[in-house]
Chains A and B, each alone.
Chain A
Amino acid sequence: MSDKKPERRDFLFTASYAVGAVGVAAVVWPLVDQMNPDASVKALASTEVDVSSVKPGNTITVLWRGKPVFIRRRTQEEISEARSVKMEDLIHPEKDEDRAKDPEWLVMLGVCTHLGCVPLNDKGDYDGWFCPCHGSHYDTSGRIRKGPAPLNMEVPKYEFVNDNTIKIG
């Protein structure tokens, strides 16, 4: 076959296959994309939370996009513990200053970055969170310190609308 010179017919075959492939792809894509988040799911993009009743050392959990969000009002000890950690001791180095702009408030997705379980409050070897599923330990800044999780718990986009209200998303 290789010693044959390409003919008009070979060109026609190749062109037909190419057009056919484009056609199949155009039909398959809607069937694949229908599984992505739909408009009603995307519409639930932000949520506002009243945090006036949260005392230092307490955490509240709210649901945002079907996922729990931890809002913790940290104590002075927890803040100083989180800020005194050396970067080289971290699996996923992030400064506490970047994770909690207002040091008193830590807002993050309460989702373990290993396989998505909800870690438990005030547990584990680093005074922060402990995931019961596969044993990941997080510190008081929600950073991964020990266990199979590869990343720190994610800090979502959020802002203080006023002194008592946080808007997530």
Chain B
Amino acid sequence: MSDHEYTPTSKVGKWFNDRLPLLTLANHLTDYPTPKNLNYWWTFGGILTFCLITQIVTGLTLAMHYIAHADMAFESVEHIMRDVNYGWLIRYIHANGASMFFLAVYIHIFRSLFYGSYKSPREIIWIIGIIIYLLMMAAAFMGYVLPWGQMSFWGATVITNLFSAIPLVGEGIVTWLWGGYSVDNPTLTRFFTLHYLIPFLILGLVVLHIWALHVPGNNNPVGIDIKKPSKDTVPFHPYIVIKDGFALLMFMIVFAFFVFYSPNILGHADNYIEANPMVTPAHIVPEWYLLPFYAILRSVPDKLLGVVAMLSAILILAVLPWLDTSKIRSAVFRPLYKQFYWILVADVLILGYMGAMPAEGLYLLIARVATAYYFLHFLVILPVLGFKEKTLPIPLSITEPVLGGSTNLAMAKNKESLDK
């Protein structure tokens, strides 16, 4: 970015840009050289930005009608659904928007895992992404508490009680989080405050995430370093803008399907019953996007160790760039990693399913095996694979496999002589 020379054509533009180089920034963003082989898995960054903006806009409008008080919250949500003009639409977009946000973020994360986008020099992008993911979970959890239904109340109780597993200070921390001796009005008002704050923190981190991305530039399906700009790149605008826009339209069709045809399918019927501290619903489960971690929590029979395992399952992702010892980024050239990758995907899906099932009998056994495998993948398989795996030869450039030529002539010639 620092080597970017740009002079606006108009006199006013030049005057403004000399004082605040916003036009230079805009020019950088439109010209930004992007690998030309990016596939549709790369469109989820833009889709996620859309999700964040959607949540902020619908959230702001809902906050104009919602009342954060234990006696009135449930009623005010029903008021939004029945009385407020288009209240039903805004709330359904917001509630399903959370699920769509997580759907997109999981695809985004697993794309990164497949193509090795977390590896050097993109570790900071990855770690910021994990922090965003953690904040997303916090925001989603607190948002789910606000309607003050049965699932809200008992979800809040169970999740805050996770902190009671901490030795000595645990109970004190839980009381502090609640502002009382149980989840009650003080809990609701602070959750509302934090639920309002977190999206803006995420927005700030997204700016850092993109800034950090623009330093080395995008990874790509081949996973090699490319020269920028070169024959291997295209300008962000219009090429990537159009592709992202098309993918976003497809995504919005799925989004709209949920909002208009099955707005409650991803929620729980119990949350249409007002919170009752005397009765726990017979079967409490978190939202679908937290189920794999919930399964890990339940598969450990000890309270403290269960909480530790669940948190480790998320935090282990932050050190992934150092656990994966392979220098080759893309799974396309890693025949063994590719297989383990798909086993991991299956493992996480199995964990998610087990998280929705009662923790007993065969379900519990499968959840335990899947939990063990999850950690095995990151702590044993990935570090060992980097040393043992025989990788396939990687191309010298993106154009080389297609056109036979390379933007880097010297390297191409060197390769030709090696081939002979």
Partners in one complex: yes
Q: Which residues of A contact B (CB under 8 A)?
A: 32, 35-38, 41, 61, 63, 65-68, 114-119, 131-135, 147-150
CA distance A148 to B279 in the complex (A): 20
In the complex, the chain B residue whose C-beta lies closest to that of A45 is B181
B277, B280, B360: the one within 8 Å of A67 (CB): B277
B residues 158-187 with Cβ under 8 Å of A?
A: 158-162, 164, 175-184, 186
Chain A residues with CB under 8 Å of B238's CB are none
Given contacts A41-B186, A135-B360, contact A118 B180 (CB under 8 A): no
Whole-angstrom distance between the Cβ of A12 and the nearest chain B Cβ: 36
Whole-angstrom distance between the Cβ of A10 and the nearest chain B Cβ: 34
B301 within 8 A of A: yes
| A116-B161 in contact (CB<8A) | yes
Chain A residues with CB under 8 Å of B160's CB are 116
B162, B175, B300: the one within 8 Å of A36 (CB): B175
Given contacts A35-B190, A37-B175, A115-B158, contact A63 B306 (CB under 8 A): no
A41, A61, A116, A119: the one within 8 Å of B179 (CB): A41
Q: Quick one: CB contact mask for B279-307 with A, threshold 8 Å, 1 for yes?
A: 11111100000000000001011111010
| 12 further contact pairs, Cβ within 8 A, besides A132-B283, A148-B298 | A32-B176, A35-B176, A37-B178, A66-B181, A67-B182, A115-B157, A115-B159, A116-B158, A133-B158, A134-B298, A135-B358, A149-B303
| B179-A35 in contact (CB<8A) | yes
Chain B residues with CB under 8 Å of A135's CB are 358-360
Given contacts A115-B157, A118-B278, A118-B280, contact A134 B179 (CB under 8 A): no
CA distance A135 to B306 in the complex (A): 14
Whole-angstrom distance between the Cβ of B278 and the nearest chain A Cβ: 5
Chain A residues with CB under 8 Å of B190's CB are 35
A37, A118, A148: the one within 8 Å of B306 (CB): A148
Q: Quick one: CB contact mask for B139-157 with A, threshold 8 Å, 1 for yes?
A: 0000000000000001001
| A115-B161 in contact (CB<8A) | yes
Chain B residues with CB under 8 Å of A131's CB are 280
CA distance A109 to B337 in the complex (A): 51
CA distance A135 to B359 in the complex (A): 7
Chain A residues with CB under 8 Å of B281's CB are 132
| B303-A38 in contact (CB<8A) | no
| A66-B283 in contact (CB<8A) | no
CA distance A127 to B201 in the complex (A): 50
Whole-angstrom distance between the Cβ of B61 and the nearest chain A Cβ: 28
In the complex, the chain A residue whose C-beta lies closest to that of B283 is A132
Whole-angstrom distance between the Cβ of B286 and the nearest chain A Cβ: 11
| A66-B277 in contact (CB<8A) | yes
In the complex, the chain A residue whose C-beta lies closest to that of B158 is A115
CA distance A151 to B183 in the complex (A): 20
Q: Which residues of B contact A (CB under 8 A)?
A: 154, 157-162, 164, 175-184, 186, 190, 277-284, 298, 300-304, 306, 358-360
Given contacts A36-B176, A132-B284, A134-B298, contact A65 B182 (CB under 8 A): yes
CA distance A147 to B186 in the complex (A): 31
CA distance A114 to B162 in the complex (A): 8
CA distance A67 to B279 in the complex (A): 10
| B179-A150 in contact (CB<8A) | no
Chain B residues with CB under 8 Å of A117's CB are 154, 157-158, 280, 284
In the complex, the chain A residue whose C-beta lies closest to that of B279 is A118
Chain A residues with CB under 8 Å of B283's CB are 132
Whole-angstrom distance between the Cβ of A74 and the nearest chain B Cβ: 21
Chain B residues with CB under 8 Å of A67's CB are 181-182, 277
Chain B residues with CB under 8 Å of A114's CB are 161, 303
Whole-angstrom distance between the Cβ of B104 and the nearest chain A Cβ: 30
CA distance A113 to B183 in the complex (A): 15
Chain A residues with CB under 8 Å of B184's CB are 41, 66
Given contacts A116-B161, A135-B360, contact A37 B284 (CB under 8 A): no
CA distance A156 to B18 in the complex (A): 70
| B177-A35 in contact (CB<8A) | yes
| B277-A68 in contact (CB<8A) | yes
Some 27 contacts from A to B, beta carbons below 8 A apart, are A35-B177, A35-B179, A35-B190, A37-B175, A38-B186, A41-B179, A61-B278, A63-B277, A65-B181, A66-B184, A67-B181, A67-B277, A115-B158, A115-B159, A116-B158, A116-B160, A117-B154, A118-B280, A119-B280, A132-B280, A132-B282, A132-B283, A132-B284, A133-B284, A148-B298, A148-B302, A150-B303
| B280-A37 in contact (CB<8A) | no
| B359-A134 in contact (CB<8A) | yes
CA distance A29 to B157 in the complex (A): 26
In the complex, the chain B residue whose C-beta lies closest to that of A132 is B282
CA distance A38 to B178 in the complex (A): 11
Chain B residues with CB under 8 Å of A132's CB are 280-284
CA distance A118 to B150 in the complex (A): 12
Chain B residues with CB under 8 Å of A32's CB are 176
| B180-A37 in contact (CB<8A) | yes
Whole-angstrom distance between the Cβ of A117 and the nearest chain B Cβ: 4
CA distance A148 to B164 in the complex (A): 13
Whole-angstrom distance between the Cβ of A62 and the nearest chain B Cβ: 9
In the complex, the chain B residue whose C-beta lies closest to that of A151 is B303
Given contacts A115-B161, A116-B157, contact A68 B176 (CB under 8 A): no
A41, A115, A147: the one within 8 Å of B162 (CB): A115
